[in-house]
Amino acid sequence: MKRKRIEARKVLLLLPLLAWPILAGAFYYLGGGRKLETQKVTGSAGLNVSLPDAKFATDTLQGKMSVYDSQQKSGFEIDSPENGMDEVARRLGFDGLGEDPKVVAINERLAMLNTEMAKGYEEPKTESSRSSGRDLGSGREVEKLERLMQGMQQGSGEDVEMKQLSTILERIQEIGDPELARLKYKTEHGGKVSIDSVFGAIPAVVDGNQKAVQGSVVKLKLLDTMVVGGYVIPKGYNVYALGNFSNQRLNLEIRNIRMGNSIIPVRLTVFDRKDAMVGVNAPEAMLADAARGGGVDAMGSFGMMGMDLTTQLAGAGIDAARGLLTKKLKRIRQPLKNGYPVLLRIEQR
Protein backbone atom coordinates (compact mmCIF):
# COMPACT_ATOMS: atom_id res chain seq x y z
CA MET A 1 0.00 0.00 0.00
CA LYS A 2 2.77 2.36 0.84
CA ARG A 3 4.49 1.67 -2.41
CA LYS A 4 1.38 2.46 -4.43
CA ARG A 5 0.98 5.74 -2.61
CA ILE A 6 4.57 6.69 -3.32
CA GLU A 7 4.15 5.94 -7.03
CA ALA A 8 0.91 7.95 -7.16
CA ARG A 9 2.63 10.92 -5.59
CA LYS A 10 5.47 10.74 -8.12
CA VAL A 11 2.96 10.70 -10.96
CA LEU A 12 1.16 13.73 -9.55
CA LEU A 13 4.49 15.50 -9.09
CA LEU A 14 5.55 14.94 -12.69
CA LEU A 15 2.11 15.74 -14.15
CA PRO A 16 2.67 19.57 -14.20
CA LEU A 17 5.96 19.09 -16.02
CA LEU A 18 4.15 17.23 -18.74
CA ALA A 19 1.29 19.75 -18.87
CA TRP A 20 3.49 22.84 -19.45
CA PRO A 21 4.67 21.88 -22.99
CA ILE A 22 1.13 21.02 -24.02
CA LEU A 23 -0.23 24.37 -22.79
CA ALA A 24 2.65 26.31 -24.43
CA GLY A 25 2.02 24.61 -27.78
CA ALA A 26 -1.70 25.38 -27.61
CA PHE A 27 -0.94 29.07 -26.78
CA TYR A 28 1.43 29.36 -29.73
CA TYR A 29 -1.02 27.62 -32.04
CA LEU A 30 -3.74 30.05 -31.12
CA GLY A 31 -1.49 33.00 -32.04
CA GLY A 32 -0.08 34.03 -28.72
CA GLY A 33 3.33 35.67 -28.64
CA ARG A 34 3.29 36.78 -32.30
CA LYS A 35 3.77 40.46 -33.36
CA LEU A 36 0.70 42.02 -35.01
CA GLU A 37 1.24 43.54 -38.43
CA THR A 38 0.60 47.29 -38.46
CA GLN A 39 -2.13 48.26 -40.81
CA LYS A 40 -1.57 51.17 -43.09
CA VAL A 41 -3.85 54.11 -42.32
CA THR A 42 -5.91 55.10 -45.31
CA GLY A 43 -7.70 58.34 -45.93
CA SER A 44 -11.11 56.86 -45.02
CA ALA A 45 -10.23 55.25 -41.67
CA GLY A 46 -9.82 57.17 -38.30
CA LEU A 47 -9.68 60.92 -37.69
CA ASN A 48 -8.30 63.35 -40.21
CA VAL A 49 -5.71 65.34 -38.29
CA SER A 50 -4.60 67.41 -41.25
CA LEU A 51 -7.02 70.34 -41.32
CA PRO A 52 -6.85 73.26 -43.73
CA ASP A 53 -5.87 76.71 -42.45
CA ALA A 54 -8.41 79.47 -42.08
CA LYS A 55 -8.51 81.92 -44.94
CA PHE A 56 -9.65 85.49 -44.30
CA ALA A 57 -9.77 88.59 -46.36
CA THR A 58 -6.65 90.47 -45.39
CA ASP A 59 -8.20 93.85 -46.15
CA THR A 60 -11.09 93.53 -43.65
CA LEU A 61 -9.97 91.23 -40.79
CA GLN A 62 -6.94 92.38 -38.84
CA GLY A 63 -7.29 90.40 -35.57
CA LYS A 64 -9.44 88.29 -33.22
CA MET A 65 -11.84 91.13 -32.36
CA SER A 66 -12.50 91.73 -36.04
CA VAL A 67 -13.45 88.05 -36.39
CA TYR A 68 -15.99 88.42 -33.54
CA ASP A 69 -17.38 91.56 -35.16
CA SER A 70 -17.78 89.80 -38.47
CA GLN A 71 -19.68 86.95 -36.79
CA GLN A 72 -22.09 89.39 -35.15
CA LYS A 73 -22.64 91.20 -38.45
CA SER A 74 -23.27 87.96 -40.31
CA GLY A 75 -25.92 86.87 -37.81
CA PHE A 76 -23.93 84.33 -35.80
CA GLU A 77 -23.90 84.68 -32.01
CA ILE A 78 -21.76 82.93 -29.44
CA ASP A 79 -23.84 80.67 -27.27
CA SER A 80 -24.07 81.79 -23.67
CA PRO A 81 -23.52 79.36 -20.76
CA GLU A 82 -27.25 79.38 -20.10
CA ASN A 83 -28.02 78.30 -23.67
CA GLY A 84 -25.40 75.59 -23.39
CA MET A 85 -26.95 74.23 -20.19
CA ASP A 86 -30.39 74.27 -21.79
CA GLU A 87 -29.07 72.36 -24.78
CA VAL A 88 -27.42 69.75 -22.54
CA ALA A 89 -30.61 69.40 -20.48
CA ARG A 90 -32.65 68.97 -23.69
CA ARG A 91 -30.36 66.25 -24.97
CA LEU A 92 -30.54 64.41 -21.64
CA GLY A 93 -34.33 64.44 -21.77
CA PHE A 94 -35.02 67.31 -19.36
CA ASP A 95 -36.82 69.58 -21.80
CA GLY A 96 -38.99 71.24 -19.11
CA LEU A 97 -36.11 72.13 -16.78
CA GLY A 98 -35.89 75.75 -17.89
CA GLU A 99 -39.68 76.21 -17.70
CA ASP A 100 -39.99 75.48 -13.95
CA PRO A 101 -41.99 78.36 -12.33
CA LYS A 102 -39.64 78.47 -9.35
CA VAL A 103 -36.61 78.67 -11.62
CA VAL A 104 -38.28 81.40 -13.68
CA ALA A 105 -39.12 83.41 -10.53
CA ILE A 106 -35.56 83.07 -9.24
CA ASN A 107 -34.15 84.19 -12.59
CA GLU A 108 -36.46 87.21 -12.61
CA ARG A 109 -35.36 88.23 -9.11
CA LEU A 110 -31.73 87.79 -10.06
CA ALA A 111 -32.30 89.98 -13.11
CA MET A 112 -33.94 92.66 -10.94
CA LEU A 113 -31.02 92.55 -8.48
CA ASN A 114 -28.53 92.87 -11.31
CA THR A 115 -30.46 95.85 -12.67
CA GLU A 116 -30.50 97.60 -9.27
CA MET A 117 -26.81 96.93 -8.74
CA ALA A 118 -26.07 98.34 -12.16
CA LYS A 119 -28.09 101.46 -11.31
CA GLY A 120 -26.14 101.89 -8.09
CA TYR A 121 -22.83 102.02 -9.88
CA GLU A 122 -24.02 104.20 -12.74
CA GLU A 123 -23.61 107.94 -12.52
CA PRO A 124 -27.01 109.62 -12.11
CA LYS A 125 -28.12 111.53 -15.15
CA THR A 126 -30.26 114.51 -14.22
CA GLU A 127 -31.55 117.57 -15.99
CA SER A 128 -29.49 120.70 -16.27
CA SER A 129 -31.69 122.52 -13.74
CA ARG A 130 -31.25 119.82 -11.14
CA SER A 131 -27.54 119.71 -11.79
CA SER A 132 -27.27 123.45 -11.35
CA GLY A 133 -29.30 123.29 -8.12
CA ARG A 134 -27.12 120.51 -6.80
CA ASP A 135 -23.98 122.40 -7.71
CA LEU A 136 -25.37 125.48 -5.94
CA GLY A 137 -26.19 123.44 -2.83
CA SER A 138 -22.76 121.83 -2.81
CA GLY A 139 -21.19 125.27 -3.22
CA ARG A 140 -23.09 126.56 -0.18
CA GLU A 141 -22.02 123.54 1.85
CA VAL A 142 -18.42 124.14 0.85
CA GLU A 143 -18.67 127.80 1.89
CA LYS A 144 -20.23 126.83 5.22
CA LEU A 145 -17.48 124.28 5.80
CA GLU A 146 -14.84 126.89 5.00
CA ARG A 147 -16.35 129.35 7.48
CA LEU A 148 -16.44 126.64 10.12
CA MET A 149 -12.79 125.79 9.51
CA GLN A 150 -11.83 129.46 9.70
CA GLY A 151 -13.69 129.82 13.00
CA MET A 152 -11.92 126.77 14.42
CA GLN A 153 -8.54 128.12 13.34
CA GLN A 154 -9.17 131.56 14.82
CA GLY A 155 -10.49 130.12 18.08
CA SER A 156 -12.74 133.15 18.72
CA GLY A 157 -15.74 132.29 16.52
CA GLU A 158 -18.95 131.15 18.23
CA ASP A 159 -21.37 128.59 16.84
CA VAL A 160 -24.64 130.50 16.53
CA GLU A 161 -26.77 127.38 16.12
CA MET A 162 -25.35 125.73 19.24
CA LYS A 163 -25.84 128.96 21.20
CA GLN A 164 -29.49 129.19 20.16
CA LEU A 165 -30.04 125.52 21.01
CA SER A 166 -28.52 126.00 24.48
CA THR A 167 -30.75 129.03 25.09
CA ILE A 168 -33.87 127.07 24.13
CA LEU A 169 -32.93 124.19 26.44
CA GLU A 170 -32.33 126.59 29.34
CA ARG A 171 -35.73 128.21 28.83
CA ILE A 172 -37.44 124.82 28.77
CA GLN A 173 -35.77 123.93 32.07
CA GLU A 174 -36.82 127.26 33.59
CA ILE A 175 -40.44 126.70 32.56
CA GLY A 176 -40.42 123.24 34.14
CA ASP A 177 -38.76 124.50 37.34
CA PRO A 178 -39.39 128.20 38.15
CA GLU A 179 -37.11 127.93 41.18
CA LEU A 180 -34.21 127.26 38.84
CA ALA A 181 -34.93 130.50 36.97
CA ARG A 182 -35.09 132.40 40.26
CA LEU A 183 -31.72 131.02 41.40
CA LYS A 184 -30.19 131.85 38.03
CA TYR A 185 -31.43 135.43 38.28
CA LYS A 186 -29.98 135.73 41.79
CA THR A 187 -26.62 134.48 40.56
CA GLU A 188 -26.51 136.86 37.61
CA HIS A 189 -27.54 139.93 39.67
CA GLY A 190 -25.41 139.32 42.73
CA GLY A 191 -28.19 137.93 44.95
CA LYS A 192 -30.64 140.76 44.21
CA VAL A 193 -34.10 139.69 43.08
CA SER A 194 -36.19 142.07 41.01
CA ILE A 195 -39.67 143.14 42.02
CA ASP A 196 -41.24 141.37 39.06
CA SER A 197 -39.74 137.98 40.04
CA VAL A 198 -41.37 138.13 43.51
CA PHE A 199 -44.59 140.06 42.98
CA GLY A 200 -45.15 139.16 39.34
CA ALA A 201 -48.68 138.36 38.20
CA ILE A 202 -50.14 136.65 35.16
CA PRO A 203 -52.14 138.90 32.81
CA ALA A 204 -55.63 137.75 31.85
CA VAL A 205 -58.89 139.15 30.47
CA VAL A 206 -62.60 138.46 30.86
CA ASP A 207 -63.57 136.00 28.13
CA GLY A 208 -66.89 137.21 26.70
CA ASN A 209 -69.61 139.56 27.93
CA GLN A 210 -70.90 138.26 31.26
CA LYS A 211 -73.18 139.28 34.14
CA ALA A 212 -71.86 138.35 37.56
CA VAL A 213 -74.12 137.74 40.56
CA GLN A 214 -73.39 136.57 44.08
CA GLY A 215 -71.68 133.16 43.85
CA SER A 216 -71.51 133.08 40.05
CA VAL A 217 -68.57 131.79 37.99
CA VAL A 218 -66.58 134.17 35.79
CA LYS A 219 -64.68 132.88 32.74
CA LEU A 220 -61.17 134.28 32.23
CA LYS A 221 -58.55 133.78 29.51
CA LEU A 222 -54.79 133.79 30.13
CA LEU A 223 -52.62 136.18 28.13
CA ASP A 224 -49.35 134.50 29.10
CA THR A 225 -48.02 131.06 29.99
CA MET A 226 -48.31 130.16 33.67
CA VAL A 227 -46.53 127.47 35.71
CA VAL A 228 -48.45 126.24 38.78
CA GLY A 229 -47.65 123.13 40.79
CA GLY A 230 -45.22 121.87 38.19
CA TYR A 231 -47.84 122.12 35.42
CA VAL A 232 -47.50 124.49 32.48
CA ILE A 233 -50.75 126.31 31.71
CA PRO A 234 -50.44 127.58 28.11
CA LYS A 235 -51.31 131.01 26.83
CA GLY A 236 -54.95 131.42 25.79
CA TYR A 237 -56.18 128.76 28.24
CA ASN A 238 -59.51 129.41 30.02
CA VAL A 239 -59.70 129.43 33.82
CA TYR A 240 -62.78 129.96 35.99
CA ALA A 241 -63.09 132.11 39.13
CA LEU A 242 -65.78 132.16 41.83
CA GLY A 243 -67.37 135.61 42.38
CA ASN A 244 -68.32 137.25 45.69
CA PHE A 245 -69.52 140.85 46.23
CA SER A 246 -67.98 142.84 49.06
CA ASN A 247 -67.56 146.63 49.51
CA GLN A 248 -68.48 147.54 45.96
CA ARG A 249 -65.94 145.00 44.63
CA LEU A 250 -66.46 141.71 42.82
CA ASN A 251 -63.88 139.46 44.46
CA LEU A 252 -62.76 136.59 42.22
CA GLU A 253 -60.72 133.60 43.37
CA ILE A 254 -59.50 130.57 41.44
CA ARG A 255 -59.17 127.33 43.40
CA ASN A 256 -58.91 124.65 40.68
CA ILE A 257 -57.72 124.42 37.08
CA ARG A 258 -58.62 121.53 34.79
CA MET A 259 -55.93 120.17 32.45
CA GLY A 260 -57.39 117.32 30.42
CA ASN A 261 -58.64 114.82 33.00
CA SER A 262 -56.50 116.29 35.79
CA ILE A 263 -57.71 118.77 38.42
CA ILE A 264 -54.86 121.00 39.60
CA PRO A 265 -55.44 122.61 43.01
CA VAL A 266 -54.32 126.24 42.96
CA ARG A 267 -54.93 129.47 44.83
CA LEU A 268 -55.05 132.49 42.56
CA THR A 269 -56.42 135.91 43.47
CA VAL A 270 -57.79 138.21 40.77
CA PHE A 271 -56.72 141.87 40.82
CA ASP A 272 -58.17 144.70 38.77
CA ARG A 273 -55.47 145.81 36.38
CA LYS A 274 -56.75 149.39 36.32
CA ASP A 275 -56.50 150.15 40.05
CA ALA A 276 -54.35 147.18 41.25
CA MET A 277 -56.90 146.32 43.96
CA VAL A 278 -58.31 142.95 44.90
CA GLY A 279 -61.36 142.05 42.84
CA VAL A 280 -63.06 143.91 40.03
CA ASN A 281 -64.63 147.32 40.44
CA ALA A 282 -68.42 146.85 40.79
CA PRO A 283 -70.27 150.23 40.86
CA GLU A 284 -73.60 148.42 40.46
CA ALA A 285 -73.17 146.96 43.95
CA MET A 286 -73.02 150.47 45.49
CA LEU A 287 -76.23 151.61 43.76
CA ALA A 288 -78.01 148.43 44.80
CA ASP A 289 -76.97 148.88 48.43
CA ALA A 290 -78.22 152.48 48.42
CA ALA A 291 -81.54 151.53 46.85
CA ARG A 292 -81.95 148.63 49.23
CA GLY A 293 -81.26 150.80 52.26
CA GLY A 294 -83.72 153.49 51.13
CA GLY A 295 -86.43 150.98 50.36
CA VAL A 296 -86.11 149.23 53.71
CA ASP A 297 -86.20 152.56 55.58
CA ALA A 298 -89.26 153.66 53.65
CA MET A 299 -91.07 150.43 54.36
CA GLY A 300 -90.11 150.60 58.02
CA SER A 301 -91.57 154.09 58.40
CA PHE A 302 -95.04 152.78 57.64
CA GLY A 303 -94.97 150.66 60.77
CA MET A 304 -95.35 153.77 63.01
CA MET A 305 -99.05 154.31 62.10
CA GLY A 306 -102.06 153.56 64.25
CA MET A 307 -102.87 150.08 65.48
CA ASP A 308 -106.47 149.77 64.17
CA LEU A 309 -107.55 146.80 62.04
CA THR A 310 -107.24 148.64 58.76
CA THR A 311 -103.81 149.85 59.68
CA GLN A 312 -102.71 146.35 60.68
CA LEU A 313 -103.87 144.89 57.36
CA ALA A 314 -102.05 147.63 55.50
CA GLY A 315 -98.96 147.00 57.62
CA ALA A 316 -99.05 143.29 56.75
CA GLY A 317 -99.15 144.15 53.06
CA ILE A 318 -96.37 146.62 53.48
CA ASP A 319 -94.23 144.00 55.25
CA ALA A 320 -94.81 141.52 52.43
CA ALA A 321 -93.85 144.14 49.84
CA ARG A 322 -90.81 145.09 51.89
CA GLY A 323 -89.63 141.47 51.99
CA LEU A 324 -90.14 141.08 48.24
CA LEU A 325 -88.34 144.34 47.50
CA THR A 326 -85.48 143.36 49.79
CA LYS A 327 -85.03 140.03 47.99
CA LYS A 328 -85.02 141.73 44.59
CA LEU A 329 -82.53 144.34 45.71
CA LYS A 330 -80.21 141.67 47.10
CA ARG A 331 -79.72 140.12 43.60
CA ILE A 332 -76.99 142.41 42.35
CA ARG A 333 -75.91 141.97 38.71
CA GLN A 334 -72.53 143.34 37.70
CA PRO A 335 -71.93 143.38 33.91
CA LEU A 336 -68.43 142.42 32.78
CA LYS A 337 -67.29 143.43 29.32
CA ASN A 338 -65.32 141.16 27.03
CA GLY A 339 -61.56 141.79 27.25
CA TYR A 340 -61.66 143.54 30.66
CA PRO A 341 -58.03 143.34 31.91
CA VAL A 342 -57.19 141.62 35.19
CA LEU A 343 -54.10 140.17 36.89
CA LEU A 344 -53.77 136.75 38.54
CA ARG A 345 -51.44 136.45 41.52
CA ILE A 346 -50.28 133.08 42.80
CA GLU A 347 -50.83 133.03 46.57
CA GLN A 348 -49.12 129.67 47.19
CA ARG A 349 -46.07 128.68 45.13
Q: Are residues 230 and 166 in the same domain?
A: no
Residue-by-residue DSSP string for 308-336 = SHHHHHHHHHHHHHHHHHHHHHH---EEE
Contact 284, 332 (CB under 8 A): yes
DSSP state of 43: T
User: Do residue 321 and residue 221 come from a single domain?
Assistant: no
Both 215 and 273 in one domain: the answer is: yes
| Position 206 in a domain | yes
Whichever domain contains 243, its CATH number is: 2.40.128.260
Q: Do the domain assignments include residue 90? A: no
- Does residue 321 lie within any of the structural domains? yes
**pTM confidence score:** 0.38
The tens-digit pLDDT sequence of the chain (349 residues) is 788 888 888 888 888 888 888 888 888 888 776 665 554 545 555 677 777 776 655 555 556 677 667 666 555 444 555 556 666 666 776 655 556 778 888 888 888 888 877 765 455 555 554 555 555 556 677 777 777 777 666 655 556 777 777 788 887 877 776 666 666 666 665 544 444 445 678 999 999 999 888 888 999 999 998 888 778 888 999 999 999 888 888 899 999 999 888 898 999 999 999 888 898 988 776 544 544 554 445 445 444 444 566 676 677 677 766 665 565 555 678 888 999 999 999 886 5
User: Any bridge partners for residue 342, and if so which?
Assistant: 204, 272
- Rounded to 5°, the CA angle 179-193-277 comes to 90
| Domain coverage including residue 318 | 288-330
Last residue of a domain, one of 176, 199, 222: 199
**Same domain, yes or no, for 205 and 194?**
no
- Residue at 138 is within a domain: no
In a domain, 237, yes or no: yes
Number of domains present in the structure of the chain: 3
Co-location of 342 and 206 in the same domain:
yes
